[in-house]
Chain A
Amino acid sequence: MFLRIIRRSLTRGLKSKLLAIVAIAFGASLATAMFSVSLDIGDKINNELKSYGSNIVVEPESESLPVKVNGVDFNPITQNKDYIPEKHIPKIKMIFWRHNIVNLAPYLEANAQLSEDQRVAVVGTWFDRKIRIPTGEKFNFGVKHLKSWWEIQGDWIKNGDNKALALVGREVAEASNLKPGDELNLDFNINGQTVNKKVKVKGIIDSGGKEESKVYLPLNLLQEITGLKDKVAKVEVSALTTPVNDLARRAQENPDALSDEEFEKWYCTAYVSSITYQIEEVIPGVVAKEVRQIAQSEGVILNKIKLLMFLVTLAALISSGLGISSIMTTKVLERRQEIGLLKAIGSSNLGVIALFVTEISLLGVLGGVLGYGLGIGFASLIGQQVFGTAISVKLLVMPIILVLSIIVALLGSISPLRIALKLEPAEVLHG
């Protein structure tokens, strides 16, 4: 009988019920959009910020020692420089937080003479290297993705291009009057012997930074020239990270000082420090360091944007609740005789409240479903307009929005329900 009453009741006063659904849908749509963007925004903002460079640098342990004081080199092993084996680099994509490793690029540096009076730094790197990790997954890594702000006049050096090709910084190109397609003559001094290499200029780098004064070659080509086969001097890594908190700061100082429980929590959270720790675990003899400024600003920006979105969502939900309150108050006043009658023929207050709460919850669900649909549209619009990409639809948001819609509908109904509770049958049934 209860469901029969609800079913019949829902078909009555469709206009006000529709209004209630729209009020709930309004809040639910904004909440959906904000939740979807919020869940996605971490990745989106991180990716935006990652476009400004890496946030982790991996170097051989010896290179991380402070070896220069007032310009005097005190590193006892400078003469016997350490390198990272290139074959170990894919292991970075196999750490616990491997899915957060967005990109990476290895570097090997050497000096070369362009002419008698022009010396230039030559860097060997991956431009767009396709690598396969033992799980079978394939990834494209290299400076093309890591330095997305570089503007190349000409073309990038493609995956598999291990020929004598080079990308030349703008300053170098201007000094030597080079353009794409020209030939570049490089003289390397390797163990006292001059090694000459002719390379073809594939593109000119316009980065606005120190890269403009360098020449970039495929890593394998420079390894061949320098005789440093399978060796790289450092690896820059771009990783999606969680904003630093107190636990992360303490772990950064000394992970061993954490309790087992704290360590597990830290290790299983994508802090920069836990990611660098895990990189050091998989590649022995290296030190992974955070590029501090970028990582910290990411956290600050992310938190501020999330707070803003939370406030907008809260404001929308409050206005939805107020709308519901107003509509439901009108409904309760319209139905006061019915409420009085139900009480007179034997319904308890709980019985009357159960009817209204069920009805409101159903309106909440309908408003939630409608709001979810609209919100996905809003989220997509925000994704396109703000981040230039679509916001992925996360199914997790659906139940959250439905529960939230019901809660908002019920909270908005507290005041009208109090009116219903106070109604006495004798007050509304006589006369």
Chain B
Amino acid sequence: MGLITLENVSKIYGEDVKALDNISLDIKEGEWVSIMGPSGSGKSTMLNLIGCMDTPSKGVVKIDGIDISELDKKELTKVRREKIGLVFQQFHLVPYLTAVENVMVAQYYHSMAEEEEARKALERVGLGHRGNHLPKELSGGEQQRVCIARALINYPKLILADEPTGNLDKENENIVLDLFNELHDQGHTIMMVTHDPKVGQLAERQINLDHGKLKDTPQISKERGLVS
């Protein structure tokens, strides 16, 4: 059994708007999977379900063996806190906290905030010298690296990234993708939503969605390697 299992999962809004339609898939621990598809294909809905920010209308979603389909909001928050590190397209840092404090916030809600450990996490993403800066004092790439440090700080089973390079220039995109490569090499499980084929090809497997359905059989990408 994989780290993430979806069994006949559907998400239906209203009476018949199917954002996801009878999806089944399995993601193994240590795997890097990209979810691709055009707008409205159900990428974000799948990310919400796997990220414990929503529950399916039908079917079963299991994260590390826990069936989240029937969990209430409080229990979903606990699973998210314990198992998942989130990285968003628009960075989403608390604007009045410094870089190191933004990392510590995730520690605080998980267990206990430790500044030294948070600074080490920033060093891992190459921002050891920027810990005391506010988000507005950081470039887009730096902000996204703070988000990656925040996602890693609690040693999550899964890193869930929603278009992590969508708001970055080429240079910063490469820096961030290098980071994901490193994390994957270290054994982290990564699930990345993207509409960029180049970014998608970095994953071991691409999952293509179209109108809420799996478009083709999940595949292993032929060429995977560092982009820079």
Chain A positions within 8 Å of B, measured between CB atoms, are: 1-2, 4-5, 8-9, 11-12, 337-338, 340-349, 351, 424-426, 429-431
Contacts of B101 in A (CB 8 A): 1, 4-5, 8
CA distance A253 to B167 in the complex (A): 87
Supply 27 A–B pairs (Cβ within 8 Å), ascending by A.
Answer: A1-B105, A1-B108, A4-B97, A4-B101, A8-B96, A8-B101, A12-B95, A12-B96, A341-B92, A341-B93, A341-B94, A344-B53, A344-B80, A345-B105, A345-B106, A345-B150, A346-B81, A348-B74, A424-B53, A424-B54, A426-B44, A426-B48, A426-B53, A426-B54, A429-B92, A430-B47, A430-B88
Determine whether the beta carbon of B110 is less than 8 Å from that of A346.
yes
Determine whether the beta carbon of A430 is less than 8 Å from that of B106.
no
CA distance A349 to B113 in the complex (A): 19
- Cβ-defined partner of A1 (8 Å) among B47, B104, B150: B104
Determine whether the beta carbon of A345 is less than 8 Å from that of B81.
yes
Known: A5-B105, A338-B95, A431-B89. 4 other contacts (CB 8 A): A9-B96, A337-B92, A344-B80, A429-B88
- Cβ-defined partner of A2 (8 Å) among B93, B96, B108: B108
Determine whether the beta carbon of B105 is less than 8 Å from that of A430.
no
* Best-buried of A1, A338, A348, A424 by chain B (most CB within 10 Å): A1
Closest to A430 in B: B44
CA distance A342 to B110 in the complex (A): 11
Q: Which of B75-121 contact A (CB under 8 A)?
A: 77, 80-81, 86, 88-90, 92-97, 101, 104-110, 113
CA distance A430 to B45 in the complex (A): 10
Determine whether the beta carbon of B77 is less than 8 Å from that of A343.
yes
The smallest beta-carbon distance between B148 and chain A, in angstroms, is 13
Determine whether the beta carbon of B105 is less than 8 Å from that of A342.
yes
B162: interface (CB < 8 Å): yes
A-B contact count (CB 8 A): 76
Determine whether the beta carbon of A11 is less than 8 Å from that of B96.
yes
Chain B positions within 8 Å of A, measured between CB atoms, are: 44, 47-48, 51, 53-54, 73-74, 77, 80-81, 86, 88-90, 92-97, 101, 104-110, 113, 150, 162
CA distance A430 to B48 in the complex (A): 9
A interface SS class = helix
Contacts of A11 in B (CB 8 A): 96
CA distance A341 to B53 in the complex (A): 11
* Best-buried of B96, B107, B110 by chain A (most CB within 10 Å): B96
Closest to A13 in B: B96
Closest to B54 in A: A426
Closest to B43 in A: A430
CA distance A429 to B90 in the complex (A): 8
CA distance A69 to B34 in the complex (A): 113
Contacts of A344 in B (CB 8 A): 51, 53, 80, 86, 92
Contacts of A349 in B (CB 8 A): 73
CA distance A379 to B87 in the complex (A): 56
Contacts of B113 in A (CB 8 A): 1
Known: A5-B97, A8-B101. A351 touches B53 (CB 8 A): no
Contacts of B73 in A (CB 8 A): 349
Contacts of A342 in B (CB 8 A): 94, 105, 109
CA distance A343 to B162 in the complex (A): 17
Contacts of A9 in B (CB 8 A): 96
Closest to A338 in B: B94
Top 10 closest pairs, chain A to chain B, by CB: A346-B81, A346-B109, A1-B113, A426-B53, A1-B108, A12-B96, A426-B48, A8-B96, A341-B92, A345-B106
Closest to B48 in A: A426
Contacts of A340 in B (CB 8 A): 92
CA distance A349 to B44 in the complex (A): 23
CA distance A198 to B44 in the complex (A): 112
CA distance A349 to B162 in the complex (A): 23
Contacts of B77 in A (CB 8 A): 343, 346-348
Known: A8-B101, A426-B53, A430-B162. A347 touches B92 (CB 8 A): no
Determine whether the beta carbon of B97 is less than 8 Å from that of A345.
no
Contacts of B51 in A (CB 8 A): 344, 426
Determine whether the beta carbon of B80 is less than 8 Å from that of A346.
yes
CA distance A351 to B162 in the complex (A): 25
CA distance A425 to B49 in the complex (A): 12
Closest to B107 in A: A1
Known: A341-B92, A344-B80, A345-B109. A425 touches B104 (CB 8 A): no
The smallest beta-carbon distance between B151 and chain A, in angstroms, is 8
CA distance A413 to B151 in the complex (A): 32
The smallest beta-carbon distance between A35 and chain B, in angstroms, is 36
The smallest beta-carbon distance between B9 and chain A, in angstroms, is 16
Closest to A426 in B: B53
